[in-house]
Chains A and B, each alone.
Chain A
């Protein structure tokens, strides 16, 4: 069991100062085990703050975070253990690289866990494989790599801790389209192979529709919608009311429907939409 349940969680930025802002407003949420959950919302909607609750980087001002049914703040001294169970890849993670070699950098997390050398070695090799990094890169300096490779090394550094739950904050930000697809495909493959829980934060509806099972839509520190992808995207009007887009394929189908065509608007990807349109055409 390694699901995350969040109960009535609230969090304030700059609490106790005149600049106090309510970043999260009584959030209740369940992240299903073994699924890919997408968290989506505008800049400032609280999504990054929310994922920093999962591994105890931030402490909620009220409410609880339950990891596999247990309150992570029950023993505040053991919060580091939670960080090994919930691996958080921050935004632009390549800025955290610091070691002399790629190998040592990936090994930083496992080393902090206090593993033995041969275990660390196994973790590093496994993580590198998941992140599509060849072993030839191990002895290189992380600073000599390309942007996309750096990002992979940074993600591998988290995967190497073998977390039950992998949380990625905007994993594809700033990458070109090919890099984006590659990173997301890696994440999906990782999830399939390991069967672990994955949470992705993004503001790209398109990507989320393609890769996620569940979706959480956030707006102004509150959860607007949550559920399975199809279900969420069927509420196009709510999404548009807060300025979020539905995937273009869904948009097209919605437009068709509004003109009286009989289509299923649950289609999310271009291929699925194509099927629907083909069906229409043949009818």
Chain B
């Protein structure tokens, strides 16, 4: 339970940590788009290289990155296997009864694995590892603030997200406590079939929900006691101002995207 490390903030001093979170969100979106523009082996290599560069700039230990990837290892292998066995093409490499493997399948598997890993490393490095959750929600609120004109409750959404993030560790601790208490009463979470195990969770989930609702009620009261009445007229303690240097990464990523498009047009290397 305490092993939830995927996408958690890693405190360090680096350029990525200092970059304005609003810029980081835009960068992440552009980076995702870039990763889907890759079509040939050279562009995938460049993509992988860029992810490595991000890790180096962000000063997050490789051990933590690998731990994050471990969580999706199954998905990675599953998609890879699917691609290897189910992709057909012209160049047959190996055949045995009904199983046949084509070179296209191997490439497709390699590409999809690179893409998924890079997406996870990239979004992790640009956002979750290097930005505190609070800074992130503030940035989302800022970026979505034009929608306020359309009467979208942007501030409320941001506040909801902040609170939800704040309570993840609290609830996971609580969950562990309740599980221990029920184990002491002989509850068995680790044996039996799927249905039995799901049923065994009822004694954990009900108290967890009850206490979550109670907590929510208490929090609402505490917030009202401090005169919270929504986002109207609310100011921030730390206001971030964008400077010219903050835009440099945007220029870099646009150049990167342009490079990828050029590679696609030129059609150099193996194309999937």
- Of the stretches A108-116, A172-180, A188-196, A266-274, the one at the interface is A108-116
Find A108's partner among B177, B180, B203, B210 (CB 8 Å cutoff): B203
With contacts A90-B177, A90-B181, A93-B181 taken as known, whether A98 is within 8 angstroms of B206 at the C-beta atoms is yes
B207 contacts partner chain A, Cβ-Cβ < 8 Å: yes
The chain A residue sitting closest to B205, CB to CB, is: A98
Give B87-111 interface residues, CB cut-off 8 Å to A: none
State whether B206 touches A83 (Cβ < 8 A).
no
State whether A112 touches B188 (Cβ < 8 A).
yes
Chain B residues near A52: list those with CB within 8 A. Answer: 180
A161 contacts partner chain B, Cβ-Cβ < 8 Å: yes
State whether A109 touches B183 (Cβ < 8 A).
no
**Interface majority SS on B: helix, strand, loop or mixed?**
helix
CA A143 – CA B178 in complex, angstroms?
Answer: 16
Find A88's partner among B178, B184, B207, B211 (CB 8 Å cutoff): B184
Chain A residues near B202: list those with CB within 8 A. Answer: 98
Q: Which residues of B contact A (CB under 8 A)?
A: 2, 174, 177-178, 180-188, 202-204, 206-207, 210-211
State whether B177 touches A57 (Cβ < 8 A).
no
A221 contacts partner chain B, Cβ-Cβ < 8 Å: no
Of residues B181, B202, B203, which shows the largest number of chain A Cβ atoms within 10 Å of its Cβ?
B181
With contacts A108-B203, A143-B210 taken as known, whether A95 is within 8 angstroms of B181 at the C-beta atoms is yes
Give A9-27 interface residues, CB cut-off 8 Å to B: 14
State whether B185 touches A161 (Cβ < 8 A).
yes
Q: Which residues of A contact B (CB under 8 A)?
A: 14, 52, 55, 57, 80, 83-84, 87-90, 93, 95-98, 108-109, 112-113, 143, 157-158, 161
Of residues B177, B180, B184, B207, which shows the largest number of chain A Cβ atoms within 10 Å of its Cβ?
B184
Chain A residues near B184: list those with CB within 8 A. Answer: 55, 57, 83, 87-90, 158
Chain B residues near A14: list those with CB within 8 A. Answer: 2
CA A96 – CA B183 in complex, angstroms?
Answer: 10
The chain A residue sitting closest to B206, CB to CB, is: A98
CA A157 – CA B186 in complex, angstroms?
Answer: 11
Chain B residues near A87: list those with CB within 8 A. Answer: 184
CA A102 – CA B177 in complex, angstroms?
Answer: 21
The chain A residue sitting closest to B210, CB to CB, is: A143
B114 to chain A, nearest CB (A): 30
With contacts A96-B207, A98-B207 taken as known, whether A80 is within 8 angstroms of B180 at the C-beta atoms is no
State whether A95 touches B211 (Cβ < 8 A).
yes
A/B interface sample: 26 pairs, CB < 8 A: A14-B2, A55-B184, A80-B186, A83-B183, A83-B185, A87-B184, A90-B177, A90-B180, A90-B181, A90-B184, A95-B177, A95-B178, A95-B207, A95-B211, A96-B178, A96-B185, A96-B203, A98-B206, A108-B185, A108-B187, A108-B203, A112-B186, A112-B187, A113-B186, A157-B185, A161-B186
